[in-house]
């Protein structure tokens, strides 16, 4: 996968050289290029923003530098671009299913906003998608872009050592992940559940699913309304509700 990021602060993306994304880059599984939007301004002051027509506070990102940066990014590779994404509070909410969707792409371009937002023509003529990582305000689109990159890259085949890991993550199935344990068998008075030591794979699978449902019911019951629950899931939920009585 190739990912191009248009930003005013390319140095902010240095953390991508670490951990899972960094290893994926070194192994050639993903290419991440950053483009400084200021490099495409046409005046000596490298101006990328201006006051909004009609008045109002703050500044708005001008279309010309963003369009020029995007065109340069597109020309840097022969790989077709699957999506040009604005990181915007007005976009669709980013979630695990969107991460899976984007992980199937060959190439993405992410545009990071700043100030009071974009000139609307960037949205209508350049972007093909808009993504928000939550209902709160950040200084710019750089941190959301890194969130999207991290979530998407780890789903690319071959990036994680265990191909089943992404499928077991919280939200991968619409539920929170079950509890995990490792050595020692007992720590400060709390022991690993016996079922995990039994070697009975079916019992372990059922326990994990039940605990995933238990945790989701307790912490994020809203997720259960959207999750695709099987007949077994519904039976396990009935068990959990009986246990609470």
Tell me the two tokens of residue 98: 């969107």
Q: Which of 101, 116, 129, 177 is labelled catalytic? A: 116
169 catalytic per annotation: yes
Tell me the two tokens of residue 60: 């708005």
Q: Which of 52, 63, 89, 179 is labelled catalytic? A: 89
Q: Which of 107, 123, 154, 214 is labelled catalytic? A: 154
Helices (H), 41-164: 63-75, 96-103, 120-125, 142-153
Tell me the two tokens of residue 83: 């999506």
245 catalytic per annotation: no
135 catalytic per annotation: no
Angle at 28 between CA 27 and CA 34, to 5 degrees: 120
Question: How many Å apart are CA 58 and CA 161, to the nearest integer?
Answer: 46
Question: How many Å apart are CA 149 and CA 18, to the nearest integer?
Answer: 13
116 catalytic per annotation: yes
Q: What are the backbone angles phi and psi of residue 186, rounded to the nearest 5°?
A: -135, 135
Identify the helix (H) or strand (E) that includes residue 77.
none
Question: How many Å apart are CA 157 and CA 44, to the nearest integer?
Answer: 45
Q: Which of 82, 150, 169, 177 is labelled catalytic? A: 169
The residues that are catalytic are 89, 116, 154, 169
């Amino acid at each position: 996968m190739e990912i191009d990021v248009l930003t005013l602060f390319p140095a902010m993306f240095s953390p991508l050289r670490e951990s899972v994304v960094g290893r994926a880059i070194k192994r050639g599984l993903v290419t991440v290029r950053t483009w400084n939007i200021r490099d495409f301004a046409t005046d000596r002051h490298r101006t990328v923003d201006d006051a909004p027509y009609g008045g109002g506070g703050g500044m708005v990102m001008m279309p010309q530098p963003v369009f020029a940066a995007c065109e340069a990014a597109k020309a840097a590779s022969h790989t077709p671009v699957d999506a040009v994404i604005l990181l915007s509070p007005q976009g669709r909410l980013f979630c695990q299913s969107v991460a899976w969707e984007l992980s199937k792409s060959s190439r993405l371009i992410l545009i990071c906003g700043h100030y009071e937002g974009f000139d609307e023509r960037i949205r209508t003529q350049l972007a093909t998608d808009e993504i928000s990582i939550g209902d709160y305000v950040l200084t710019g689109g750089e941190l959301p872009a890194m969130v999207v990159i991290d979530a998407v890259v780890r789903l690319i085949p071959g990036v994680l050592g265990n191909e089943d890991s992404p499928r077991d993550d919280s939200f991968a199935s619409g539920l929170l992940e079950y509890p995990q344990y490792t050595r020692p068998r007992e720590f400060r008075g709390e022991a690993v559940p016996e079922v995990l030591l039994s070697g009975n794979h079916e019992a372990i699978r059922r326990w994990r699913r039940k605990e995933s449902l238990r945790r989701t019911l307790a912490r994020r019951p809203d997720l259960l309304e959207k999750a695709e629950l099987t007949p077994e899931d519904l039976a396990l939920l009935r068990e959990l509700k009986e246990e609470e009585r």
